[in-house]
């Protein structure tokens, strides 16, 4: 019999086998993701079975589909890819199930009595007529009722697993059942859209697919309201919008849901009445927010204005004296704009420092650290990513933390991230210096500001010409354009930086000028290729042959391919496949594991795609242990143990063991997008310049890519596309209200 897409022929094609037996013993179970190891009794043998099988009980009868694997540590195991529970149908199996203590209050002796009394009707009696059990000597009414409830709960678990598995998978089903218990199926059938509103990780599309299978009509009001929330959520994640004009939201919702604009408009009014949506007027346009986004933006504006107002100022004479002292200590003379930046940071509660590479932002930060330290202030340095925080630490010789770590992020019982430093437990530091602020979205800025005590100073540093944050908002640019805060834009390129063609070309690009492409024996090169296929082939050849031969370890260990797009022949998806084949091909003895559409192989270069503050690491050279791997961290896969479902990744000097359930947080990193490279720098950068979506052929994206390189940039592709990007100063417009709230409009 086929199961979940597995046919008999699949055994030969994929090595898929079927086993049927009963659970003898639960060896291990991860309650969070349902990964279970158990001993399963077959007709004439006991085998170890492992895989995602949540909420198993000893005595459960299973049909499992998977492959045999060998563990050096545990020996031969059956790795489960799909499974189903089979309720015992004969008296002997029923007795075994009841004797396993899977049902509360029923042990081996009681099980025998029940089976002797009711035979094949035992399960029906336990579920529907528990009072009959009380007629058996030794079973009280209380025990009988408890056993019935326990049996119904097990039935509810089985029902939930069978009902939800097709749509959401085992791990998500576990979360659903933990939330709603035995009522899960009934709740979902009544209103499937509660799933996307109340269960973490379930989006509207999957809830809508379930609703469609249940026969719900397009014009169901719950569907329309959930769909409109989904439009706002997607516009935030895909386009960075904090809000949308009511007309656009109506139209987008109507198109998605295949209903009329009148119906979506009525639903918007109801969502506003319920408090799930909020709005502000921008001229004649009504801007619609999710209530959480509205509250975040409002708080950002109010707190920034408060910090700027409450800060104690420093006497001008003292400022001059501080600057002179730092110049003497450093043996340099600050440029006039650098002096202005230092002065403004000492005079105002909120100061913004912006400028491109080589303009001396780090010099200003070092001076401010020394000055504030001499004044007795506690200082916190922070950045939005782990790599940006690391670079900030190296540049200032002072520890910098990610904003998430500074705020002591943890997870609540539902697995949602929370910050332990907030308005109820403020940061101790009086000076907060934040770097790479262009990457900070509205939610993160709101969380940071909530934790800053009134009277503290906030110094915001970033290059406003780089790409905006991946998340919703355009915080840095909105703050600058509001005109409400002291802002210094450094523009002078210092002599040492002028020697770098990377820096001078970056500034040329930012001015809308073509970079120098013909220089020889410098750090910026252009290889002309016309076809995307040839561009991809050249990138592979550079990484595999030419650059390692010419530059040795710097190319082998410090090279990064950065692409505008994920798609296309020279996009990250295809290049990662090609580069993996070229740089780390399949070899006998080299372990690998397929996860969804990715093949992870020992020796692969991989990137962490979200902040994980709980995962533990051990440092290679001194054995020190700690926690936390961050979005953008790049490492090498050292070891894959398929049987143990574990992968070991080395991030610089930190060794991390990933359970296979965490592999969704990893992707190959031979090639990464410009957006993923933000906040990071690499010794050598190769940039394919090829056809991509028009929205990606922009000056600020090109500028961001070039500024990721420390020692060398190699452009591979078409000069006409370089020209197109340089000339295209169009920035993706984001609907936000922060500038307006700050009084800038």
Residue-wise pLDDT for 569-602, tens only, equals 999 999 999 999 999 999 988 999 988 889 999 9
Question: What is the arithmetic mean of pLDDT over 207-213?
Answer: 87
Please, which pLDDT band fits residue 414 given cuts at 50, 70 and 90?
low
Higher pLDDT, 58 or 287: 287
409 forms beta bridges with 419
335 class by beta-carbon count within 10 Å (0-12 exposed, 13-18 middle, 19+ buried) = middle
Average pLDDT over residues 316-320: 83
The more confident residue out of 704 and 101 is: 704
Convert 509-523 to b/e letters by CB count within 10 Å (16 or more is b). bbeeeebeeeeeebb
pLDDT at 78: 92
Query: CA 563 to CA 539: how far, in whole Å?
Result: 11
pLDDT of residue 8 exceeding 70:
no
Least confident of 6-15, 54-63, 160-169, 484-493: 6-15
Residue 9: pLDDT band (50, 70, 90) is very low
Q: 């509360």: which residue's tokens? A: 104
What pLDDT, on the 0 to 100 scale, is given for residue 497? 60
Separation CA 456–CA 465 (nearest Å): 27
How do residues 301-311 score in pLDDT, each as one tens digit?
999 999 999 98
User: Rounded mean pLDDT of the chain?
Assistant: 88
Residue bearing the bigger pLDDT, 77 or 9: 77
- The reported pTM is 0.78
Q: Which regions of 620-701 does DSSP assign to beta strands (E)? A: 625-629, 634-641, 646-651, 654-659, 666-668, 671-673, 682-689
Per-residue pLDDT, 373: 94
Query: Quick one: pLDDT band at residue 56, thresholds 50, 70, 90?
Result: confident
In this model, does residue 533 exceed pLDDT 80?
Answer: yes
**Of 70, 73, 127, 119, residue with least CA distance to 94:** 119
pLDDT for 306 equals 95
Residue 441 has pLDDT above 70, yes or no: yes
CB 631 within 8 A of CB 610: yes
Q: Which of 213-217, 422-426, 630-634 has the lowest mean pLDDT?
A: 630-634
With vertex at residue 447, the alpha carbon angle to CA 443 and CA 451, rounded to the nearest 5 degrees, is 165
d(CA 505, CA 514): 8
Cα–Cα distance measured from residue 219 to residue 222, given in angstroms and rounded to the nearest whole number: 9
User: Are the CB atoms for 36 and 56 separated by under 8 Å?
Assistant: yes
Q: What is the pLDDT of residue 495?
A: 57
What does the pLDDT average to over 439-468? 94
Q: Is a pLDDT exceeding 70 seen at residue 653?
A: yes
Burial of 267 (0-12, 13-18, 19+ CB in 10 A): buried
Average pLDDT over residues 26-46: 84
Residue 211 — pLDDT band, cuts 50, 70, 90? confident
Helix, strand or coil, per DSSP, at residue 229: helix
| Per-residue model confidence (pLDDT) at position 496 | 63
Greater pLDDT, 489 or 678: 489
How confident is the model at residue 15, as a pLDDT? Answer: 62
Where residue 744 falls among pLDDT bands split at 50, 70, 90? low
Query: What tens digit of pLDDT does each residue of 113-163 get?
Result: 999 999 989 988 998 999 999 899 889 999 899 888 888 777 777 677 777
Eight-state DSSP code of residue 149 = H
**Rounded (10°) CA dihedral 65, 68, 72, 75:** 90
Q: Is the pLDDT of residue 5 over 80?
A: no
């Amino acid at each position: 019999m086929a199961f979940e897409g597995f046919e008999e022929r699949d055994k030969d094609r994929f090595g898929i086998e079927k086993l049927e037996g009963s659970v003898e013993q639960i060896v291990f179970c991860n309650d969070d993701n349902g990964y279970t190891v158990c001993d399963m009794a077959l007709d004439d043998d006991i085998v170890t079975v492992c895989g995602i099988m949540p909420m198993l009980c000893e005595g459960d009868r299973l049909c499992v589909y998977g492959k045999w694997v060998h563990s050096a540590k545990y020996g031969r195991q059956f790795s489960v890819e799909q499974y189903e529970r089979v309720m015992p149908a004969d008296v002997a199996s029923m007795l075994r199930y009841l004797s396993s203590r899977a049902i509360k209050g029923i042990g081996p002796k009681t099980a025998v009595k029940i089976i002797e009394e009711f035979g094949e009707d035992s399960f029906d009696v336990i579920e529907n007529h528990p009072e009959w059990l009380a007629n058996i000597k030794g079973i009280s009414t209380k025990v009988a009722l408890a056993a019935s409830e326990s049996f119904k709960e097990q039935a509810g678990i089985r029902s939930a697993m069978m009902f939800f598995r097709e749509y959401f998978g085992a791990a998500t089903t576990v979360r659903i059942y933990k939330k709603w218990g035995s009522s899960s199926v009934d709740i979902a059938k009544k209103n499937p859209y509660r799933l996307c509103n109340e269960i973490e990780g379930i989006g509207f599309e999957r809830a809508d697919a379930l609703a469609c299978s249940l026969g719900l009509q397009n014009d169901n009001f719950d569907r329309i309201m959930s769909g409109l929330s989904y439009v706002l959520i997607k516009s935030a994640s895909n386009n960075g919008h904090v809000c949308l004009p009511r007309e656009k939201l109506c139209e987008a919702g109507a198109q998605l849901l295949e209903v009329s604009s009148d119906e979506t408009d009525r639903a918007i009014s109801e969502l506003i009445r319920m408090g799930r949506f909020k709005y502000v007027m921008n001229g004649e346009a009504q801007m619609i927010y999710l209530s959480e986004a509205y509250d975040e933006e409002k708080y950002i504006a109010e707190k920034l204005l408060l910090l700027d107002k409450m800060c104690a100022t420093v006497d001008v004479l003292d400022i001059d004296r501080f600057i002179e002292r730092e110049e003497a200590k450093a043996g340099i003379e600050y440029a006039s704009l650098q002096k202005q930046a230092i002065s403004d940071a000492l005079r105002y509660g909120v100061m913004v420092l912006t400028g491109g590479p080589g303009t001396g932002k780090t010099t200003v930060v070092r001076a401010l650290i020394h000055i504030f330290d001499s004044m007795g202030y506690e200082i916190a340095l922070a950045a939005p990513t782990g790599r940006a925080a690391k670079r900030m630490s190296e540049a200032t010789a002072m520890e910098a933390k990610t904003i998430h770590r500074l705020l002591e992020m943890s997870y609540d019982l539902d697995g949602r991230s929370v910050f332990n430093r907030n308005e109820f437990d403020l940061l101790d530091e009086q000076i907060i210096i934040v770097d790479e602020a262009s990457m900070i979205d509205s939610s993160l800025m709101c969380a940071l500001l909530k934790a800053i005590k009134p009277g503290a100073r906030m110094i915001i540093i970033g290059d406003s010409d780089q790409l905006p944050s991946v998340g919703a908002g355009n915080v840095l640019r909105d703050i600058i354009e509001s005109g409400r805060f002291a802002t210094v834009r450094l523009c002078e390129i210092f002599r040492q930086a002028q020697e770098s063609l990377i820096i001078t070309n970056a500034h040329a690009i930012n001015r809308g000028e073509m970079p120098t492409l013909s220089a020889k024996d410098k750090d910026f090169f252009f290889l002309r290729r016309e076809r995307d296929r040839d561009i991809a082939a050249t990138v592979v050849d550079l990484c595999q042959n030419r650059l390692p031969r010419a530059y040795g370890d710097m190319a082998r260990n410090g090279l990064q391919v950065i692409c505008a797009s994920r798609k296309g022949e020279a996009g990250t998806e295809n290049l990662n496949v090609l580069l993996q084949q070229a740089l780390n091909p399949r070899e006998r003895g080299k372990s690998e594991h397929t996860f969804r559409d990715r093949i992870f192989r020992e020796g692969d270069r991989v990137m962490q795609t979200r902040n994980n503050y709980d995962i533990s690491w051990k440092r290679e050279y001194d054995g020190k242990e700690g926690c936390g791997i961050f979005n953008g961290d790049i490492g090498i896969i050292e070891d894959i143990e398929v049987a143990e479902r574990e992968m070991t990744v080395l991030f610089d000097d930190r060794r991390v063991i990933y359970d296979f359930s965490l592999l969704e947080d990893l992707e190959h990193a031979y090639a990464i997008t410009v957006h993923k490279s933000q906040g990071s720098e690499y010794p050598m950068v190769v940039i394919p310049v090829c056809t991509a979506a028009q929205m990606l052929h922009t000056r600020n994206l090109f500028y961001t890519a070039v500024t990721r390189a420390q020692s060398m940039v190699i452009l591979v592709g078409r000069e006409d596309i370089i020209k197109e990007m340089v000339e295209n100063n169009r920035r993706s417009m984001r609907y936000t209200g922060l500038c307006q709230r700050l009084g800038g409009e």
